[in-house]
Amino acid sequence: MARKTSKTPSRSANALWGGRFSGGMAAIMEQINASIDFDRRLYAEDIQGSIAHAEMLAAQNIISQTDAKAIVKGLHRVKSEIEAGKFSFSRALEDIHMNVESRLSEIIGRPAGRLHTARSRNDQIALDFRLWVRRAIDEADAALGDLQAALISQAEVHADTIMPGFTHLQSAQPTTFGHHMMAYVEMIGRDRGRFRDARARLNECPLGAAALAGTSFPIDRHRTAKSLGFDRPTANSLDSVAARDFTIEFLAACSISAMHLSRLAEEIVIWCSAQFRFVKLSDAFTTGSSIMPQKRNPDAAELVRAKAGRIIGALNALLIVMKGLPLTYGKDMQEDKEPTFDAADAFALAVAATAGMVRDMKPNAEVLRAAAAQGYATATDLADWCVRTIGIPFREAHHVAGRAVRLAEQKGVDLGALTLKDFQSIDKRITHDVFKVLTVERSVASRTSYGGTAPANVRRQARAARKAWL
């Protein structure tokens, strides 16, 4: 049962800043000013930071050990109430900081008023948000690792499964399904690197910067930084409360990764279509139609594709909010949390759904192999053979292969179905040996250069990726 709250406090009664004001707050001002509807998500970080702050104040003899113990015990109780659903959040108290502090005051009385010594809501929210974003980064990194594991497993199983490789969505050269999966392993690996880089840069503690200029109290910022898992305290008090590049960088990492997820989702949508039939998703990741009973819609992939727009929009929103703000803090910065929370939620859902689809999808090996053989996909192999065997320059070999493609088109056959006489009508130096390179299997097997699509390469890549990332 939610605890009872007293009458909504007026501006004059507000323990935070009521002493300066005698009039009441307009209802619309209360509505636009309050952030508790969304920053309540920061309760754990807010309490964690307050505990570290109280313990530091006591260690520095700024408050008594008795008061510090009462504060810490009371904060743990507040956290328990919130997690048990027994806490009533008040919009009149504006934000998570004052909601927590108000309840703490109800629990322990006068000592609660000492907690805010040597800090401001400016450095407090900067701390809370850094802690939250740091945790979100760790969760994103772990989720992306799970996606990599799913991709690597598919790559290992399908290292030999031939499929068409595309440029311009036109058949280009044969590749393998495993190699295609490993391409996304590389992309996701770079995404994880961006998240880790962002984490390293944000891992400085702003607590102690106070409102903007620091404090005259003999605080120990290194102690609080260490107790909260930061590498060091921030070096400049103005920057400490004004900076939001840490969440902008988080959103940028989310946006780039979401773009990669969207590309894979788009391919899954295409591959599942009746026109391609490259892969099949089970009922677990598809939906039906209310009117067309034959339909199996890849809705999970479509929604992952759409989430990218939402996430990128959050990045744009925060960049636009921050671009014109002078130092240090402006209430505009209250608008940083909703887009960040929304983007983090959308990103987590998109990664989880993508990992599920990757594990679920079943490649259609026969269809993939047949598609790889279409579109004269071994034309480059023919040109390469001419360079290696006849010894002509590649540009000349390119023309020879192009003429062979034109002849095959005229005859309505693939390159491998041309006769030796056909090839020699183009260049008399071509021998029967050319037919060894005109199958998709030979084409794929020949791509042994580092990073190439040869099945042996794919297996080596998969082993290396497991060792590097999982």
Predicted confidence pLDDT, tens digits, the chain (470 residues): 344 444 444 434 455 555 565 566 677 877 787 888 999 999 999 999 999 999 999 999 999 999 999 999 999 999 999 999 999 999 989 999 999 999 999 999 999 999 999 999 999 999 999 999 999 999 999 999 999 999 999 999 999 999 999 999 999 999 999 999 999 999 999 999 999 999 999 999 999 999 999 999 999 999 999 999 999 999 999 999 999 999 999 999 999 999 999 999 999 999 999 999 999 999 999 888 778 877 889 999 999 999 999 999 999 999 999 999 999 999 999 999 999 999 999 999 999 999 999 999 999 999 999 999 998 999 999 999 999 999 999 999 999 999 999 999 999 999 999 999 999 999 999 999 999 999 999 999 999 999 999 999 999 999 999 999 99
Q: What is the pLDDT of residues 39-66, one digit of tens each?
A: 999 999 999 999 999 999 999 999 999 9
298: which DSSP letter? -
| 466 CB-contact burial (10 Å; exposed 0-12 / middle 13-18 / buried 19+) | middle
Please tell me whether residue 233 adopts helix, strand or coil conformation: strand
289 classed as catalytic? yes
CB atoms within 10 A of CB 233: 21
Q: Give the up-direction half-sphere exposure of residue 373: CA atoms within 13 A in the CB hemisphere.
A: 17
Residues in the chain: 470
**Catalytic hit among 168, 216, 290, 449:** 168
Q: What distance in Å separates the CA atoms of residue 100 and residue 370, rounded to the nearest whole number?
A: 64
Residues 6 or more apart in contact with residue 209 via CB below 8 angstroms: 120, 122, 123, 126, 234, 237, 238, 240, 241
425: tokens are 């009508």
285: tokens are 């990741």
Using CA atoms, how far residue 382 sits from 166, 387, 437, in Å, is 18, 9, 7
Residues 6 or more apart in contact with residue 338 via CB below 8 angstroms: 38
CB atoms within 10 A of CB 457: 21
Q: Whose CA is closest to 298, among 312, 313, 283, 309?
A: 283
* pTM value surpassing 0.95: no
Q: What is the pLDDT of residues 406-445, one digit of tens each?
A: 999 999 999 999 999 999 999 999 999 999 999 999 999 9
| 419 CB-contact burial (10 Å; exposed 0-12 / middle 13-18 / buried 19+) | exposed
390: which DSSP letter? I
Q: Give the up-direction half-sphere exposure of residue 239: CA atoms within 13 A in the CB hemisphere.
A: 9
**Catalytic hit among 88, 227, 289, 449:** 289
Helices (H) and strands (E) in the chain, counts: 18, 6
In this structure, are residues 265 and 304 in contact, taking their beta carbons and an 8 Å threshold?
yes
Q: Give the up-direction half-sphere exposure of residue 222: CA atoms within 13 A in the CB hemisphere.
A: 0
Please tell me whether residue 18 adopts helix, strand or coil conformation: helix
Please tell me whether residue 297 adopts helix, strand or coil conformation: strand
